[in-house]
Amino acid sequence: MKIAEHDIVAIKALGYTEDEARFLYIVATHSGYFVPRQFLDLTGASWGYRTDQLSKKLESRGHASWREYQDTGGVYHLFSKKLYAEIGKENLRNRRRHSVEFIRTRLVLLDFVIANQQYDYLETEERKVEYFCNELGLTKGSLPTKTYEGSSGNAPTLRYFVDKYPLFLDSSRPSSSSVVTLSYVDPGYSTLAGFANHLNAYRLLFRELTEFRFLLISNSAVHFADAEKCFSSLVKAPISTEIGADVLRYFRLRKAWDLKKYALFSNNEIEWLNAATRQFQGDRFDSLHAAWCSGKLTDDDVRRQFPPATPNRKAEFQTFLVGGHRQEDGAVPKALKRSSVPDFRSTDFALQRSAEANSRKTSEIARDEKARMDAAKFG
């Protein structure tokens, strides 16, 4: 992980140590949320003085707030605009408040980054766009996008890679330094629906890459085997075919749907059409569809609008179990049991103090009650 020295110096100038500054940079860049246990994972320190000092600094300086969430436990939110501005990341949405689902995902993501600091992470939207468009020569149209409607008549804004999952190069392996790894973070969802939607959103980019790795990061291995099958079905199989064929299939299904010929659709075709509608959106596809429907373009004309299938594409699927170790090619140890979302309450120092206080209070009440009963019995 490459962290510019001036960013560390900028955070240290706010009153933090070298280790604290490095940790806060990683939190701000990748998560926005953390639990003290993760600071210990990064530094190798023990519970006590260092965690107490970090918490006091964060709260006294107004850089972070502490909040407890049901089924998740206590979490710090690094929200200070000043701190983010010091490292040139004041516009990151990590400093804003989010849903519990988002927080759980970011905590798993942060665990992964802390455990894998050897990678060269493409940290920002700008850096990711630069890598794919300038270094690999891809068009922005192949990148995963989300449109945000403008206010007061302003034009809509296109944003890229809004999920902000880890995207990195393995600079420790010179022979594969140009091979990018994309990822998806699963904090323990009950289904693979979110994973499948994520793969569909990246379909155009997958097609443009001649070689890439995809990493499923999770705190539970329960979906690893099924996720590999899903990846093979939604990614490996399609990138071996021509994109023009998929576009024509989309045009035919879209036309049939527009004509309300719903009886022709199976559940699988409806799901495929929904995914294709997200994938093939924009003026280009709308114009091609209109021309094809009117007969101005033939099937062959449509196919010529897109590149042919490229042989020997390499799409490698891997998994990483947070708190465990990487499983190559989706393999899952037989002895591995499903784990739930980590209970941060059992490791967090503030909650430990609270639990200890409650325990002492309970013991005192029990002792007083016993004394009262003994007095009544022998009085």
Which tokens go with 373?
Answer: 């009963």
**What is the average pLDDT value for the chain, to the nearest integer?**
82
Instruction: Decide: 79 and 17 in contact? Cβ < 8 Å.
Output: no
Which tokens go with 134?
Answer: 């300038």
Name, in order, each residue with C-beta under 8 angstroms of 346's C-beta and a sequence gap of 6 or more. 73
Instruction: Decide: 15 and 57 in contact? Cβ < 8 Å.
Output: yes
Name, in order, each residue with C-beta under 8 angstroms of 198's C-beta and a sequence gap of 6 or more. 163, 165, 184
Q: What is the pLDDT of residues 264-286, one digit of tens each?
A: 888 888 888 887 887 787 788 99
Give long-range contacts, CB 8 A cutoff, 24+ apart: 333-336: 333/221, 336/221
User: Listing from the earlier edge strand, what are the strands of the sheet with 120-121?
Assistant: 120-121, 168-169, 180-186, 211-218, 314-321, 326-327
Distance CA 213, CA 169 (A): 10
pLDDT band at 32 (very low <50, low <70, confident <90, very high): very high
pLDDT band at 172 (very low <50, low <70, confident <90, very high): low
User: Listing from the earlier edge strand, what are the strands of the sheet with 73-78?
Assistant: 33-34, 73-78, 64-69
How many CB atoms are located within 10 Å of the residue 113 CB? 21
How much is the pLDDT for 368? 53
Global pTM value:
0.72
Instruction: Decide: 254 and 205 in contact? Cβ < 8 Å.
Output: no
How much is the pLDDT for 165? 97
Radius of gyration for the chain, computed over Cα atoms and rounded to the nearest angstrom: 26
Q: What is the pLDDT of residues 102-144, one digit of tens each?
A: 999 999 999 999 999 999 999 999 999 999 999 999 988 889 9
What is the mean pLDDT of the segment spanning 247-260?
Answer: 93
What is the mean pLDDT of the segment spanning 187-203?
Answer: 91
Of 150 and 266, the one with more pLDDT: 266
pLDDT band at 311 (very low <50, low <70, confident <90, very high): low
Name, in order, each residue with C-beta under 8 angstroms of 70's C-beta and a sequence gap of 6 or more. 100
C-alpha angle 316-321-324 in degrees, rounded to nearest 5 = 125
Q: Which stretch of 142-156, 196-210, 286-300, 326-340 has the lowest confidence by average pLDDT?
A: 326-340
Task: Name the range with the highest mean pLDDT among 127-131, 311-315, 361-365.
Answer: 127-131
Domain definitions of the chain by residue range: 118-241+313-336, 243-303, 348-378
Please report, as a single letter, which amino acid is at residue 182.
L
pLDDT exceeds cutoff 60 at 167:
yes
Burial, 28: exposed, middle or buried (Cβ in 10 Å; 0-12, 13-18, 19+)? buried
Q: What is the pLDDT of residues 315-333, one digit of tens each?
A: 999 999 998 544 443 333 3
Instruction: Decide: 18 and 54 in contact? Cβ < 8 Å.
Output: no
- One-character DSSP codes across 40-59: HHHH---SSHHHHHHHHHHH
pLDDT band at 373 (very low <50, low <70, confident <90, very high): very low
Distance CA 330, CA 227 (A): 8
